[in-house]
Amino acid sequence: MFDTQTARRRATAFAFSALSVAMLLSTPAGAVEQGGTITPMGVTDFGAGMLPPSSPYGTFGIRSTYYSASSLRDGAGREIPNDFHLDVETVALAYFYMTDLQLFGARLGFGGVLPLMNISGRLNVPTPGGPLQLSGDDFGLGDAQIMPLLLAWDTPPNLFITAGLQIQMPTGSYSTSNAFNTGVNHWTFTPVVGATYISDTGFEISTQANLNFNTTNTDTNYRSGIEYKQEFAVGQHIDAWTLGVGGYAYQQISDDKGPGAGDGNRARVFAAGPAISYFKPGLPLVTLHAYKEFGAENRAEGYNVALRLAMSF
């Protein structure tokens, strides 16, 4: 029989996230103004419904991600021939503190994520005088996230449920003269819910869903629409390992508003690929996944690789 107490200890790293690409695209494919989701995708996989255990000093984590795309899609999913390429490297530090205080029958906690980003890219933009190539790079602090409210229901023996509020702050650098920025220059408020079920034989199904509510970018007078994002993982626990597949689905559910918004620029994308994690009590939890995106509309389509480590003290 699978040890659910071990599953609870695995939660040391499943809660933290990092910031994703912040792109400034002026083409019609630039949905949500930046051409990519405002908050990160490919954040979690196994244990999406778990939060760290209560501990004296909290849980510390680090997440390293690499995103690369060479395809930009229009509203019908067709590739735009504009010599597009994007590379984003992110290292994010996370801290979570869960208490034994109860709210609605759940453990109460809070957390935060501080990302460091390196972004570079290029694309051709049509002009009356012919194609104009834009290129650039940016390195520095990204948009930090705080989680002022985290709730963890440890429903015995096999089900775990979480909920919380995430606030993304415009701490990253931003300039309308840059082709690519580490920040998006507006606030984002995100309610999050997650669930994990692990059978007595160690078979796991996990998912996490959230909604992004974006404020207006005051430098461009542009407001990105509401975004729905759901991540998932399905796998089997084998001793200290969990092996399976994961991915995400992203759909913008309301129109962008502002200059260049056109018909609303609603974006979507899906991703799937292998996921693996390793955990033994007393050691850091390590997770790795590699996803390929597909079915993109009004945004980039590429690859997402993420490595996470975390431990409670």
- The per-residue DSSP string of 41-72 comes to SS--BTBTT--PPP-SS-EEEEEEEEEEEEEE
Question: What's the pLDDT at 33?
Answer: 57
DSSP 79: B
Q: Between the CA atoms of 117, 122, 125 and 131, what dihedral angle is there, to the nearest 10 degrees?
A: 160
How many whole angstroms separate alpha carbon 25 and alpha carbon 126? 12
Question: What's the pLDDT at 3?
Answer: 60
How many whole angstroms separate alpha carbon 8 and alpha carbon 196? 11
Select from 65, 47, 63, 52 the least CA-distant residue to 207: 47
Which amino acid does the sequence have at 144?
A
Question: Helix or strand or coil: residue 10?
Answer: helix
How many whole angstroms separate alpha carbon 95 and alpha carbon 113? 7
CB-based contact 14:46 (threshold 8 Å): yes
CB-based contact 92:111 (threshold 8 Å): no
Question: Helix or strand or coil: residue 176?
Answer: coil
Entry pTM = 0.87
Tens of pLDDT, residue by residue, the chain (313 residues): 556 555 544 443 333 332 233 232 323 334 455 555 577 888 899 999 999 999 999 999 999 999 999 999 999 999 999 999 999 999 999 999 999 999 999 999 999 999 999 999 998 888 888 888 889 999 999 999 999 999 999 787 899 999 999 999 999 999 998 888 999 999 999 999 999 999 999 999 999 999 999 999 999 999 999 999 999 999 999 999 999 999 999 999 999 999 988 888 999 999 999 999 999 988 999 999 999 999 999 999 999 999 999 999 9
Q: Where are the beta strands (DSSP E) in 215-298?
A: 216-217, 222-223, 227-238, 241-252, 268-278, 285-297
> Any idea which residue has 């395809």 for tokens?
71
The CB-side HSE value for 16 (13 A sphere, CA atoms) comes to 37
Cβ count near 251 (within 10 Å): 15
